[in-house]
């Protein structure tokens, strides 16, 4: 082993010891001291996970040979020697002791820390080699591990047979969506867990495809948790629970759970597209499962099923801050906290924009209802006849907005007419206002018939000077000889154009700030993942 491999084995042994996995810890630490007999730290940690007092005393003696000033080792050795049942082996004349036996032998001697092997399995931790490349395959979990991926060649190994059999090949270039790696430790529910496996699923339905990651976490007490993550839902910590009432995963619309009744919110299929480390079932690339998500109040539940088994999980949504705090990643906690603060600010601004949009819509509707009627008059418009004059109109507030409404009493089918409107003061100064277009049309479509018309026209204007005015109306063009028109004049009308502007601004700003929040969230994830 070179220096890098020695340090890697040492760190694995320390992580396993801290999480209470004595046998894997002894395995890795034994590798270290066989390659580097003078490694004080490896002997210290091996003393912590020794299978019996005699082996612990031997390791402590070795520590004191390397470093006589190690007070902790001296105190622990004195305590062991004071115990009447302790009989540490003597140091040889050469001043050395034989290296401790393999981890398997220590476990056999103590009979306490060695987990039961799977029925029919002859695999031993220190002897497991990849059949594909011959590399050492490390197992951090317990005896219920069924699948492990070789970290050297990516071979997927099935551990449920008499020997490790290659059943597939993993793509080692695929990285987790978030920087959570095998061997990392996290404290969830007041218990330390170690990441021992990871996989990525791809789900699909008739309209879309999506992906998410899941990490398998194992505690020293043998409990398993699943930490899942996707960019929409974020982190969810899942634990396996037993169904209270049998159900059909293909047809159930609700299931009974400890929190009451969970109603199904989504049902789809998924397949495994990447995996690393260890898993508690025989998994392979391309393996397909059915699943559905459900909710009881705010608690999410998920069900994964195949033709052979059904598994129900209860979820606990976690924020990025909670997850990185559990993993002890202070730098990522800081980044996640800053991202959460920015997202809150963006949400507040986006909410303000939504409120602005809402009131703008109300203003547009209200503007159509405003206006004080000055007069109303009905006239008969005929093509080619003299100008029809309406008035006099007494304009006392020229600065206010006025509105002219024209309503054609009725047009024959498939006809149209255009009426020009001009304002004229008492000095015969004319101000062309607008042309009102009226039409009525029918035809056939895929259903055999349609009918449309537009018999109303309106115009907003402001006159500069007060006084009496007249409205001159002329039917310049038409496919009908005459049409009745009702003329209405209103003053004090609100301009809807301003509300429309506010509406557009609100929609655009809401979209911009929402997008900025999403980009910042995804950008933070990408930065953290590097």
The span from the CA of 179 to the CA of 236, in Å, is 16
**Tokens of residue 101, six digits:** 């036996």
Q: Please measure the distance between the N-terminal and C-terminal CA atoms of the chain and give it in whole angstroms.
A: 29
User: Looking at residue 163, what is its pLDDT?
Assistant: 61
**Tokens of residue 65, six digits:** 């040979």
* CA distances for 6 relative to 15, 41, 96, 454, angstroms: 14, 12, 21, 86
Q: How far is CA 86 from the centre of its chain?
A: 56
**Tokens of residue 90, six digits:** 């003597």
Backbone angles phi, psi at 100, to 5 degrees: -60, 150
Pairing of the two strands 310-318 and 450-454 = unpaired
In this predicted structure, the answer to whether residue 517 has a pLDDT above a threshold of 70 is no
Neighbours of 297 (CB within 10 A): 9
**Tokens of residue 14, six digits:** 């320390």
The span from the CA of 202 to the CA of 188, in Å, is 26
Mean pLDDT of 277-305: 92
Positions of E strands within 115-190: 147-149, 155-158, 165-169, 185-188
Higher-confidence position of 247 and 24: 247
Burial class (CB in 10 A: 0-12, 13-18, 19+), 65: middle
Please write the tens of the pLDDT for every residue from 328-383: 999 899 988 888 788 888 888 888 888 888 888 888 787 777 777 888 888 888 87
Beta bridge partners of 222: none
The span from the CA of 275 to the CA of 281, in Å, is 12
The span from the CA of 460 to the CA of 403, in Å, is 4
Backbone angles phi, psi at 375, to 5 degrees: -165, 165
The span from the CA of 103 to the CA of 521, in Å, is 46
Higher-confidence position of 116 and 503: 503
Please write the tens of the pLDDT for every residue from 480-492: 888 899 999 888 7
Please write the tens of the pLDDT for every residue from 383-426: 777 788 888 888 887 778 888 899 988 788 888 889 899 988 88
Select from 496, 410, 388, 490 the least CA-distant residue to 454: 410
Q: Which residues of 173-197 are buried (b: 16+ CB within 10 A; e: fewer)?
A: eeebebbbebbbebebeeebbbbbb
**Tokens of residue 408, six digits:** 């054609």
User: Looking at residue 247, what is its pLDDT?
Assistant: 93
Select from 135, 81, 126, 129 the least CA-distant residue to 108: 126
Q: Positive or negative, the Cα torsion across 62, 67, 71, 74?
A: positive
Pairing of the two strands 415-425 and 467-478 = antiparallel
């Amino acid at each position: 082993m070179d220096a890098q491999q020695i340090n890697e084995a040492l760190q694995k042994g320390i992580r396993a010891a801290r999480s209470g996995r004595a046998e894997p810890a002894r395995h890795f630490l034994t590798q270290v001291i066989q390659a580097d007999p003078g490694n004080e730290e490896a002997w210290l940690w091996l003393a912590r996970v020794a299978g019996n007092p005699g082996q612990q005393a031997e390791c402590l003696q070795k520590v004191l040979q390397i470093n006589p000033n190690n007070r902790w080792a001296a105190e622990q050795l004195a305590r062991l020697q004071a115990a009447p049942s302790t009989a540490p082996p003597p140091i040889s004349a050469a001043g050395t002791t034989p290296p401790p036996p393999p981890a398997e032998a220590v476990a056999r001697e103590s009979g306490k820390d060695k987990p039961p092997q799977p029925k029919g399995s002859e695999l031993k931790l220190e002897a497991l080699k990849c059949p594909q490349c011959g590399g050492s395959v490390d197992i951090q979990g317990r005896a219920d591990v069924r699948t492990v991926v070789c970290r050297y060649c990516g071979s997927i190994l099935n551990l449920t047979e008499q020997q490790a059999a290659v059943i597939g090949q993993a793509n080692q270039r695929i990285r987790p969506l978030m920087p959570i790696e095998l061997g990392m430790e996290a404290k969830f529910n007041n218990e330390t867990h170690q990441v021992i496996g990871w996989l990525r699923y791809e789900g699909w339905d008739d309209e879309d495809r999506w992906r998410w990651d899941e990490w398998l976490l194992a505690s020293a007490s043998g409990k398993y948790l699943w930490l899942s993550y996707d960019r929409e839902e974020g982190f969810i910590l899942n634990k396996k629970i037993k169904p209270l009432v049998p159900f059909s995963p293909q047809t159930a619309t609700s299931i009974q759970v400890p929190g009451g009744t969970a109603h199904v919110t989504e049902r789809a299929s998924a397949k495994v597209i990447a995996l690393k480390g260890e898993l508690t079932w025989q998994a392979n690339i391309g393996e397909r499962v059915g699943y559905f998500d459900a909710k009881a109040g705010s608690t999410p539940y998920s069900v994964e099923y195949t033709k052979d088994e059904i598994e129900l999980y209860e979820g606990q949504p976690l924020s990025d801050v909670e997850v990185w705090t559990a993993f002890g990643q202070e730098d990522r906690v800081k980044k996640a906290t800053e991202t959460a603060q920015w997202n809150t600010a963006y949400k507040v601004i986006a909410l303000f924009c939504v409120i602005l949009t809402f009131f703008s819509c109300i203003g547009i509707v209200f503007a159509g209802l405003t206006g004080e009627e000055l007069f109303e008059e009905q006239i008969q418009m005929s093509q080619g006849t003299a100008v029809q004059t309406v008035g006099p109109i007494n304009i006392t507030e020229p600065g206010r907005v006025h509105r002219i409404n024209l309503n054609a009493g009725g047009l024959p089918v498939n006809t149209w007419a255009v009426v020009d409107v001009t304002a004229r003061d008492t000095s015969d100064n004319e101000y062309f206002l607008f042309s009102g277009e009226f039409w009525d049309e029918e035809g056939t479509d895929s259903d055999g018939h349609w009918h449309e018309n537009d018999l109303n026209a309106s115009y907003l204007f402001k006159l500069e000077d007060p006084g009496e005015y007249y409205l001159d109306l002329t039917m310049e063009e038409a496919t009908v000889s005459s049409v009745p028109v009702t003329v209405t004049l209103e003053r004090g009308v609100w301009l809807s154009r301003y509300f429309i502007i506010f509406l557009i601004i609100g929609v655009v700003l809401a979209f911009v700030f929402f997008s900025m929040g999403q980009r910042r969230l995804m950008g933070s994830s990408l930065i953290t993942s590097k």
